[in-house]
Every structure is written in C-alpha cells, then in structure tokens.
Structure 1
C-alpha cells in the first residue's frame, strides 16, 4: 500500500479532534470526509477505517509509541507510524515519520500483547469492571470480540419491499449481500461499501441496523392496531422497525428527551413510508403522565454504558467514566419505574440496553420487579446477546408483562 500525504494528514486531523478535542468519532469522520470532494470510495474508506483502527487500539499504540494525551501533532504521527508498521506498510520518506523504530515497534507489540489490558486496549477500570461483572474467562472472550470491526448489516423495510427483492436490487447496484440465520429481515454486506448513496436507500427500502439491534422490536410482540410507545426513541432505528411490524396500523408514539433526535426521526420515517407514527418530546413528566395506563406495548431502549457496541463506537472506551456508569444506572431505574406506568393492564414492556453488564441488565429488572412500581409485572423472558457468541453487538432485552387490573 502506498500512503498518500493528504489522506494521512486527514487521519491526523481526525485523531486530534477525537483525542484532544473530545469530539465523537462518527461526527469527526463525517466532517473530515468533506475536506476534498475528489476523494473516491477507497480514499474515504482509508481515512475512516484507519482513524477507527487507531482509536480502537489507542492504549496499545500509546505504550508502543511512548506518547500520552494530550497529543502533539508529532505524537499523533507516531501513533500513525505504529499503525502502519504493524500492518506491514512501508513508511514514506516524510519528515513527520523520520526515525521510526520499526524493529522496536514490533518487539513492543509482541511483549504487550501478552497483557490483556494492552492487547485489547482498554482502561484499567473497564478491565477490572469486566472481570468483576462477567468473570475473567467470559470477559476475555467478550472484549476480544468487541475489538473486531463491525459488519455492515441492513434491515429490510417490509413496508416497501421484501428481503429477496432488496437483495436483488442491491446486487444491481453492485452491492453483494448474504442472509443471516435467525434474523428475519437482515442482510449483511459481503464487502464494505457506502450504501447511503444507493437508490434503494434513497427509496427507503432499508435501514442500516446491527443484527442484534434488529431483535429488540420483535421481542416486544407488537401487533397491528395497537398503541405502542417507544419511550427512548433517539434517532428511531427501533421505532421504524416497530412501524413495519405493526404494518403501519395503530398508533406508534416515539418519545425522547432530545427533540433534535425526533426531528431526524421524522425525516427517516417519511423515507421509510411510515404513517402511523407521531413524535412527542419529553419536556417534563407531563408527557409520560398523559399516557399512564394507555399503552398496549412500551419499549424502553434505555440509555446505558454502550459497552456492548464498542465495535462500532471504539471511542466509548476513552470517553466512558466510572461516574457516568453510576449515574446511568440511576437513570435506568427511574425510567423503568416511571415509564412502566404507561403500560395498560395485560400489556407488555421490553427493557433493553446495548450493554453486557449484569448491573445494567438483569439486575436492573430484578430491582424493578422488587419495587412498588414493578409489583404488577412479571418477567416473561429475557435474552443476553454476547458478541463472542453472536458475532454481532452485545445486547440485553427483557419482556415484562403486566397483570390484569
């Protein structure tokens, strides 16, 4: 591989924004890829994948390069040099890459790879948390799986097409896919490509959604004609899936504390051909109280640590702090106790997270069921999805049923 100066400099700029300015990796990539309209798909792919790689292996590369945050521009080039050497890429004769100790880099890599916290590039506190929560054997498997690059998975929008037809249309646009066992509407790209420029996407025939995430909406057992509330909708990937499962019939209410996310959801809903959805920002407790005892189904896709989705959000490892985990656990319990009041007698509720920690998952459900607000609910079933077993994101989901009045 021949390194091009403008592409490498774009990577350095991206790393500076992520590591030194604290910006989110996905937003940074989106920004940096707009630098030069002449860049083709391979150029853009190099910038995005190289940046994510260095973010993912930051701690390991720090130790090898002997640099630490805050990073000077030269330090960022040293991280890049480590990345290139470990991939067998010949370094060009640039002053920023002068005197790169290639043999030392390889030797340090071999040495540090024997220690999990360096091999898997994680902060000490997350490594200790994982061992305590899951045991050393499972945690070692999970963190290794979470450091693998995420696949591109599509969810067929069954309001507009079916999986076989979508697969054929994508093939005509030179995008090859394969089906996934146990995931009814999912297609996985066999080769990474930008699917957002396809006519199929513009026509609303699919959404990009991880295979594990696609299991959450069906877990709620919705039916056409029901009143369904997605109480933590965010940008609405699961909301749109619920609309498809409801066949556009009934009432689907998407709620979130961030109105800006709901505005984006409206745009996605129009593209998807969703007609039974309305958005309601949660500006106060009134929005929730108005729905007490009125929902057939409630989805609580709760805010969480995000430790199950490190494959696609590797910068979470460096942004997450112990204090946030304590705070978010309090929020999860408040959401369970307050939002569960929307479920009508004999209704159902799903509590879900993209975490693999029991303290955010089944332990939260157990605490809710032991509370006054949870006394009329029973746990019908739950599912833990571990990346080391599924090959996809880590998720948890619990289906809770409410007793008759």
Structure 2
C-alpha cells in the first residue's frame, strides 16, 4: 500500500478532533469524508478505517510511540508511524517519519502484547471491572472480540419487501449478502459497502441494525393492533422494527428526553413507510403518568455503559469514566421503576441494554423484581449475548409479564 499525503493529513486532523477536542469519532469521520469530492470509495475507506484503527489502539500505540496526552501533531504522526509499521506499510520519506525506529516498534509491540491492558488497548479501570463481573477467561475473550471490526448487518423492512427480494436487488448492485440463521429479518454483508447511497436504502427497504439489536423487538412479542411504548426510543432503530412486526397496525408511542433524536425518527419513519408512531418528548413526569396501566407492551432500551458495542464505538473506551457506570446503574433502576408502571395487567415489558456487565443487566432485573413495583411482575426469560460467542454485539434483554 502506498500512503497518500492528503489522506494521511485527513486522518491526523480527525485524530486531533477526537483525542484533543473530545469530539465523537463517527461525527468526525462523517465530516472528513465530505472533505474532497474527488476521493473514491477506497480513499474514503482508508480515512475512516485508519482513523478508527488508531482510536481503537490509542493506548497501545501511544505507549509504543512514547507519547502522552494531550497529543500534538508530531505525537499523532508518531502514532501513525506505529500503525503503518505494524501493518507492514512502507513509510514514505516525509519529514514526519524521519528516524522512525521500525525494529524497536515491533519489539515493543511484542513485549506490550503480553499485558491485556495494552494488548487490547483499554483503561486499567475497565479491565478491572470486566474481570470482576465476567471473570478472567470470559472477559479476555470478550474484550478481544470487541476490538475486531464489526460486520455490517441490515434489517429488512418487511412492510415494503421480503428478505429474498432485497437480497436480489442488492446483488444486482454488486452487494452480496447472507441470511443469518435465527435472525428472521437480518442480512449480513459479505464485504463492507456504503449501503446508504443505494436506492434500496433511500426507498426505505432496510435499516442498518446489528443482529443482536434485532433480537430485542422480537422478544417484545408484539401483535398488530396493540398499544406499545418504546420509552427510550432515541432515533428509533428498534421502534421501526416494532412497527414492521405490528404491520403498521395499532399504536406505538416513541418517547425520549431528546427531541432532536425523535425528529430523526420522524424522518426515518417516513422513509420506512411507517405511520403508526406517536412521538412524545419526556420533558416532565406528565407524559409517563398519562400512560400508567395503558400499554400492552413496554420496551425499556435503557441508557448504559455501551460495553457491548465497543467495536462500533471504539472512542467510548476513552470517553467512559468509572463514575459514569456508577451513575448509570442508578438511572437504570429509576427508569425500570417509573416506566414499568405503563404496562397494563397481563401486558409485557422488555428491559434491554447494549452492555455485557451483569451489574447493568440481570442484577438490575433482580433488584427490580424484589422492589414494591417489581412485585407486580413475573420473570419470563432473559438472554445474554456476548460478542465472542455470537459474533455480533454484546446485548442483554429480559422479558417480564405483569400479573
């Protein structure tokens, strides 16, 4: 591979924003890819994947490059040189790469790889909590998988098209996909491609949604004509899945504390041909109380640490703090206590997170069931999805039924 100056500069600019300005990697990369209209798909892939790679391995590369935060541009070029050397890419004779000690880099990599915190490039506190909650063996496998690039998974919008029809349409555009056993609406891309530019996406025939995330709406066991509340809807990936399972019949109340996210859901719903969603901003307790004992189904896709989706959000490793996880556990229990009151007798509730930590998952459900509000519910089943076992995102979901 030959390195091109303008592409490398884009990566360095992106890393400056992510590491020094605290910006989110996905947003930074979106902006970078608009920088030069002449870039082809290979150029864009280089910028996106290299930036994500260096973000993912920040701790390891910084240690090998002997640089410390905040990183100046020279520091970032040194980390870039480490990335290129370890990838076996020949460094051009640019001033940024003068005196790059290639042999020493490989030696340091071998040495540091013996320690999990460097080998998997994670903060010490995260490693400690992973071992404490999952055990040494399981955590070692899980965090290694969380450092691999995630597959691109589509969820077919069955309101508009069948899985087989979509597969054929994409095949005609040189995008090959596979069915995934046990995931009725999922197609997995054989090779990464920018599916957002396809007419199939623009016409609302599919959404990009990981296979594990698709299990949540399935567990909710919705039927056409029901009243369903999605309490932490966000931009609505699971809301739209619920709508397709309900065949656009009945009512979905999509709630969130962020109006901006619900506006995105409105746009996505229009593209998907979904018209049974009511949007509600949670700006007080009033919208929640109005729905007490009214819903056939309630989904609580709770705010969480996101430790099951680090493959997609590698910068979360550096933004997360242990104090945040302590706070989020309190929020999770509060949300369970409040939102569970919307379930009517005989109705069902799903509590879900994209975390692999039992303290955010089954422990929260157990605590809820022993509380005053929780005594009204029976535990039906739960499902723990680990990335190293499934090949997809780490997730948790529990189904409860109101007596």
Give the TM bin, normalised by the shorter chain.
over 0.9
* Deviation digits for residues 193-243 of structure 1 (CA, Å, limit 9, x no counterpart): 100000100110000000100100010000000000000000100000000
The match for 2:56 is 56
Offset of 1:159 from its aligned partner? 0.3
Within 5 Å, give how 1:264-279 maps onto structure 2: 264-279=264-279
TM-score by length of 2: 1.00
* Deviation digits for residues 115-150 of structure 1 (CA, Å, limit 9, x no counterpart): 111000000000000000011011001001111101
* Deviation digits for residues 85-104 of structure 1 (CA, Å, limit 9, x no counterpart): 00000001111111111000
Within 5 Å, give how 1:254-265 maps onto structure 2: 254-265=254-265
Offset of 1:165 from its aligned partner? 0.2
Tell me, in whole angstroms, the C-alpha distance in 2 between the residues paired with 1:329 and 1:39: 44
Tell me whether 1:221 sits opposite 2:221 in the alignment: yes
Which 4+ runs in 1 deviate beyond 4 A? none
The match for 1:147 is 147
Tell me, in whole angstroms, the C-alpha distance in 1 between the residues paired with 2:81 and 2:241: 43
* SS of equivalent to 2:352: strand
Offset of 1:68 from its aligned partner? 1.4
Tell me, in whole angstroms, the C-alpha distance in 2 between the residues paired with 1:324 and 1:222: 33
Within 5 Å, give how 1:390-401 maps onto structure 2: 390-401=390-401
The match for 1:326 is 326
* SS of equivalent to 1:384: strand
Alignment size in residue pairs = 403
Tell me, in whole angstroms, the C-alpha distance in 2 between the residues paired with 1:234 and 1:111: 43
Alpha-carbon RMSD across the aligned residues, in angstroms, is 0.5
Structure 2 gap segments, 5+ residues each = none
The match for 1:137 is 137
TM-score by length of 1: 0.99
The match for 2:47 is 47
The match for 1:168 is 168
* SS of equivalent to 1:107: helix
Within 5 Å, give how 1:5-404 maps onto structure 2: 5-403=5-403
Structure 1 gap segments, 5+ residues each = none
Offset of 1:278 from its aligned partner? 1.2
* Deviation digits for residues 227-271 of structure 1 (CA, Å, limit 9, x no counterpart): 000000001000000000000000011000000000000000000
* SS of equivalent to 1:375: helix
